[in-house]
A and B are shown apart, each in its own frame.
Chain A
């Protein structure tokens, strides 16, 4: 059998939709090799004893797990969670009006507006954070101007605290929240808002009872793409957070590099993974329910691809 006929048969099979498993095999293998197995290794390392030279010893222990449940870590974990939730809420509050606004503009200009919001991504992530360091600097223009205008008292600092972490994380995450919300808002049928007003709803009621549920897929995606990266955030708290702005990501980095304690770093990383998995599972279940009620499971499967 020559190769042409083999390829031909392969494609004709695809056309008839037979080997569905074969089509998904490459991505499944990829995830298995480079995601699932490494994750399990990290979980496993958390139970090994540490080698003083920075490696892993042969023994097994539960000490590390006990160690990372110390109040010091739980405190940092709590801070990580509330900062990430705050960042997500602020991002949603900003991106929903922006997404709504862009989707109501003349289609000719929509992509230009979108471009404006995406343009910052063209500059390197670290450079943008350093730019914020300059902007928020105690001797910087912004703080002086705010004090001069009497907006903040003179003993308030903008840099090296948790506020700076939140501001800069919101700044970096915002485009990723705007994109899915805009995509959902663009498909939203705006005559539904008129219908709601026609049936007696105020503009505000129409917005929250019809528009927000109408773009819920976009909102769920935005939550995921903001919440998860901010929980794992490392560079931003490191550069603008100062001592009190530390998050779990920084602890992991310090354990792994400065303290050379791989098992403890692995235990913290495992803890972070578990915490991050919770919102994913909750939102995934929600999306499945949404998909069931709208009766288009396939559509959500495609659109919700990011969740899986």
Chain B
């Protein structure tokens, strides 16, 4: 049994099936993210782990102990709430000391623990301030310290960076990572921001409509999405509808992409001849050529419609029959030294057969 286990969790709000048979395991010391759009049920799962909602079915285990029906104050779990939930009538020190004081630890020991936590979050000078007098990023770190001081077996973080502005978010992301390295606590992190989830997590569960669609490392989820939702929610992609016309061998298959023609594609999901599929190709997997590329690459001919120059890369939209294909080209060499495609140019869009993801068609 893994360190933390969630088995077939169910939750209804009235008629709404907000959590539909969610199961996953988390290893000790791991950062595990629940990622999905708002209303997908991720926060409800977190609240059930924390003990603030009762599941309508399923079980929760932590460190070989079933905790499904324990009240929040009896679980060795602490939460960093979305809006920090710092106690406004207590100083920063008293906020951090709340947990140990409640559990009856001696005052001298509590003071020492608080100093230690203030050291970890690098806010030693703010101990006597009131929460109203500190910035958002500082509140965030204090909320983390207030949770971590209890030495929880599991730390839950509910959209902890959502209320911060972009620069602070990026900084706090690094801080969170550093704090995790320092204390080694197991984190379950809820977010709707794929960037946060990707950069922080060891593994991610992508959720939609109460269901977990896929669990995997950030790279697995990005490069090999299992469903159309995961492919579109994580990063950008281009979708094409198609039908399997023949299986070339055990690995490759030929797809008739509607309106474009037949192309070979990597077939890891074992689609059979006649299956309808959705083909997903990420923008950076495409290349643009000014003349027809060599035989190794799949390609099709089109016209450049839109160009957005982004410094490190350029984004093109190329019209190929009924499709507007989104292509991202990295500038590995100085882009001024080469002739770049421009509006109205006739170009070839090319991709490798291995960089195609075949998904079950919704039709």
Knowing A194-B72, A195-B81, A198-B79, the reply to whether A295 touches B132 (Cβ < 8 A) is: yes
On whether the beta carbons of B130 and A199 are closer than 8 Å, the reply is no
Q: Is B71 an interface residue (CB 8 A)?
A: yes
Q: Given the complex, which residues of A lie within 8 Å of B52, measured CB to CB?
A: 194, 197-198
Give the residues in chain A near B313, CB-CB below 8 Å. none
**Additional A-B contacts beyond A192-B85, A199-B78, A295-B132 (8; CB < 8 A):** A194-B72, A195-B81, A195-B86, A199-B147, A200-B73, A201-B98, A293-B89, A294-B130
Q: Is the CB of A199 within 8 A of B83?
A: no
Q: Are B50 and A198 in contact (CB under 8 A)?
A: yes
Task: Assess whether B88 is in contact with A199, with CB atoms less than 8 Å apart.
Answer: no
Contact (A200, B103) CB under 8 Å given A195-B79, A294-B130, A295-B133: yes
Q: Return 30 A-B CB contacts under 8 Å, by A number.
A: A189-B83, A189-B85, A191-B83, A191-B85, A192-B88, A194-B50, A194-B52, A194-B72, A194-B79, A194-B81, A197-B72, A197-B73, A198-B51, A198-B79, A198-B147, A199-B98, A199-B99, A199-B102, A199-B147, A200-B73, A200-B99, A200-B102, A200-B103, A201-B102, A205-B102, A293-B89, A293-B130, A294-B88, A294-B89, A295-B133
Shortest beta-carbon distance from A296 to chain B in Å: 6
Q: Is A129 among interface residues, defined by CB-CB distance under 8 A?
A: no
Docked pose: A194 CA to B73 CA in angstroms? 9
Closest to B143 in A: A195
| B85 pairs with A194, CB closer than 8 A | yes
B150 within 8 A of A: yes
- Interface assignment of B146: CB less than 8 Å from any CB of chain A: yes
Chain A 178-199: CB-based contact to B (< 8 A → 1; otherwise 0): 0000000000010110111111
Residues of chain A lying within 8 A (CB to CB) of residue B89: 213-214, 216, 290, 293-294
Q: Which residues of B contact A198 (CB under 8 A)?
A: 50-52, 72-73, 77-79, 81, 147
* Chain B residues whose C-beta falls within 8 Å of the C-beta of A192 in the assembled complex: 85, 87-88
Residue of A nearest to B133 (CB): A295
How large, as a class, is the contact surface on chain A?
20 to 34
Give, as a whole number of angstroms, the nearest-CB distance from A104 to chain B: 15
Name, among B71, B72, B77, B82, the residue most crowded by chain A CB atoms within 10 Å (CB to CB). Answer: B72
Q: A201, B87: Cβ atoms under 8 Å?
A: no
A196 to B102, CA, bound (A): 9
**Residue ranges of B at the interface with A (Cβ–Cβ < 8 Å):** 50-52, 71-73, 77-79, 81-83, 85-89, 98-99, 102-103, 130, 132-133, 146-147, 150
Write the nearest CB–CB distance from A239 to chain B, whole angstroms.
Answer: 42
User: Most chain-B Cβ atoms within 10 A of its Cβ — which of A197, A200, A213?
Assistant: A200
Neighbouring A residues of B132 by C-beta, 8 Å: 294-296
Which 6 A-B residue pairings sit nearest by Cβ, starting from the closest?
Answer: A195-B85, A199-B99, A197-B72, A200-B102, A213-B89, A191-B85
CB proximity to B under 8 Å, residues A156-195: 189, 191-192, 194-195
A89 proximal to B (CB < 8 A): no
Contact B81 A210 (CB under 8 A): no
- A197–B87 alpha-carbon span in the complex (Å): 12
Known: A198-B50, A205-B102. A295 touches B146 (CB 8 A): no
Which chain B residues lie closer than 8 Å to A295 at the CB level?
130, 132-133
Q: How far is A293 from B91 in the complex, measured between Cα atoms in Å?
A: 9
Chain B CB within 10 Å — which of A194, A195, A202, A205 has the most?
A: A195
A293 to B102, CA, bound (A): 23
How distant is A225 from chain B, measured CB to nearest CB, in Å? 22
A198 to B148, CA, bound (A): 12
Chain A positions within 8 Å of B146 at CB level: 199
User: By the criterion CB–CB under 8 Å, are A196 and B130 in contact?
Assistant: no
Chain A residues with CB under 8 A of B83: 189, 191
Q: What's the minimum C-beta distance from B52 to chain A, rounded to whole angstroms?
A: 6
Minimum CB–CB distance for B50 against chain A, Å: 6
Taking the closest CB of chain B, its distance from the CB of A61, in whole angstroms, is: 51
* B residues near A293, Cβ cutoff 8 Å: 89, 130
Say how far A7's CB is from chain B's closest CB, in angstroms.
40
Those of A100-139 within 8 Å (CB) of chain B: none
List, in ascending order, chain B residues with CB within 8 A of A197's CB.
51-52, 71-73
